[in-house]
Amino acid sequence: MGSVFRRNQNGRKRWVLKFRDAVGRKRQHRLKVQSRAEAERVLREVEGQVERQRLGLEEPAPPPVLFREIAERWMAERSRHTNNHASNESRLRLHLLPVLGDLFLRQVTPGLISRVLAAKSKELGDWSVFHLRKTLVAIFNWAQRMRLYRGENPAAAVPKPEIQPKDVRFLELEAIPAVLAAIPPQHRLFCAIAIYCGLRKGEVCGLKWEDLDFKRRLMWIRRSYDKQTTKTRRSRPVPIPDELLGLIAKELAERHSEFLCPRPDGGMRTKDLDASSIVRKAVRDAGLLVGYDHKCRRKGCGFRERRDDAKEGRCPRCGYRLMPIPVGQKITFHDLRSTAATHVADRTRDGIGNAQLLLGHHSPTVTAQHYLGFTRTRYEEIREALRFGLAPSGASSGSDALVRLADLIKRGAPVGAPTPTATGRARPREKNPQRPQPLPKRAIQDSNLWPLAPEANALSN
């Protein structure tokens, strides 16, 4: 049986609630009420709640716990068994624990999380902020399952940050043989497996000879690096194309390790391998260029300009010779995975479904949104489908219009500038346009044609 009484605290008398909880421990709780009747009403509600908890009809409230303690338990019991454990540890250590670590879980509200993510968006990228919110959602969901937190997930109430999907980059069909030929022989099979089978870097590194089924011409993807599971935590078979089978047979004759693409000492390749730099150099050597960076040879000048040709010239600042540097297309090792998915989706009947099976995604939405691009053949088909028999204006063709547009862009024509065929040449912008001068006061008075109001006469009645 509980009781209520008044206690003097800092010169003010506060009503205090005294009772025993469901396990028999004595509890006291200060109330913000003004009368004994209100305090006794709260006492009856608390006693009813304690009785329901004692009979097992209601769970007792979890004890107050800091966010730091819950995050450390989540890291040790849940995140440690996942593939992104290192990323979760760095997000908590660098971004979340310094801000939320010393707060109780009930103090972490959706408004607080929204303000934290808004502050982090000024120093981090969109995807980094997205993963910060995802980590918070996972921590609070785990705390709810472990009966350490009662209530709604505050991180789930915060809307997801809007992220513009990146452009899908891949190699065109006719460029693949040239790129493979430009890759060094010790890395050629490693990159060829990514192109033909769409594997991740860790899956290629962990691939063993025992995973190949030559009778059925299948390749079983069972691990990523030294982990005994893949990113999606399930194994999948991938068909071996004929062209890739020839490269594997050549490597089989020189086999010296249990791994399909080992290091020179026979060990497994690790994350330290910079596969993207190998692909970028091969793309540049294969002639897939976007232009040339003309850099001044003089030390300390710093002049650099992107041009279409490799013709040498002089620096406009100091007069030294310019050195043309070829710039290849932005293709990384992960884009080889998009290359496989794009061509499978473009050249098979059930395109997206086959690409999903090849990449091992749970949902075709992920495959279509992040890995499928439009090939040059697909664009040509769309252009032909949108041909309605309209005669071109005058004797100009599409290539002539592109030449005129490129000429306007090079001369810095403003938006909406007239075409050269209509008015000769576009009018260039003035370097120092004169600002309009304000009219003098006399001119403003003369321009006002309204009659003046009659002046008041102090002597008139």
pLDDT tens column, 182-231: 999 999 999 999 999 999 999 999 999 999 999 999 999 999 988 888 88
Q: Are 204 and 219 in contact (CB under 8 A)?
A: no
Domain residue extents for the chain: 3-54, 67-145, 171-288+329-382, 291-326
Q: Kindly report the average pLDDT of the chain as a whole number.
A: 84
Q: How far is CA 460 from CA 4, 160, 454, in A?
A: 85, 76, 13
pLDDT at residue 437, as a whole number? 55
Residue type, 384: E
Percent of the chain surpassing pLDDT 70 = 85
Q: Are 302 and 315 in contact (CB under 8 A)?
A: no
Q: How far is CA 64 from CA 56, 112, 214, in A?
A: 21, 18, 59
Using DSSP bridges, classify how beta strands 12-20 and 26-30 pair: parallel, antiparallel or unpaired: antiparallel
pLDDT at residue 386, as a whole number? 86
Residue 108 and residue 114: Cα distance in Å, rounded? Answer: 10
Among 10-19, 47-56, 72-81, the range of highest mean pLDDT:
72-81
pTM: 0.70
- On the question of pLDDT at 338 being above 70, the answer is yes
Summarised one tens digit per residue, pLDDT across range 391-428 is: 765 545 566 766 777 666 766 655 554 444 444 444 45
- Mean pLDDT on 317-339: 93
- Mean pLDDT on 126-132: 93
Cα Rg, the chain, nearest whole Å = 36
* pLDDT band per the 50, 70, 90 thresholds, residue 449: very low
Paired strand residues for 294: 305, 324
Report the phi/psi class of residue 291: left, alpha or beta, with left for phi > 0 and alpha for psi in -120 to 50. Answer: left
Contacts (Cβ under 8 Å, ≥6 apart) of 118: none
Percent of the chain surpassing pLDDT 90 = 49
pLDDT at residue 236, as a whole number? 92
Looking at domain 171-288+329-382, its CATH class is: mainly alpha
- For tokens 């009219």, the residue is 439
First to last CA, the chain: 93
Query: Could you give the count of Cα atoms lying within 13 Å of 402 in the half-sphere of its Cβ?
Result: 3
E strands within 176-258?
212-213, 218-221, 236-239
pLDDT at residue 116, as a whole number? 95
Quote the DSSP letter at residue 105: G
pLDDT at residue 211, as a whole number? 93
Q: Which of 84-88, 144-148, 171-175, 373-377 has the lowest mean pLDDT?
A: 373-377
- Mean pLDDT on 283-294: 93
Could you please state the CATH topology (level 3) that the domain comprising 67-145 is classified under.
Answer: DNA polymerase; domain 1 (1.10.150)
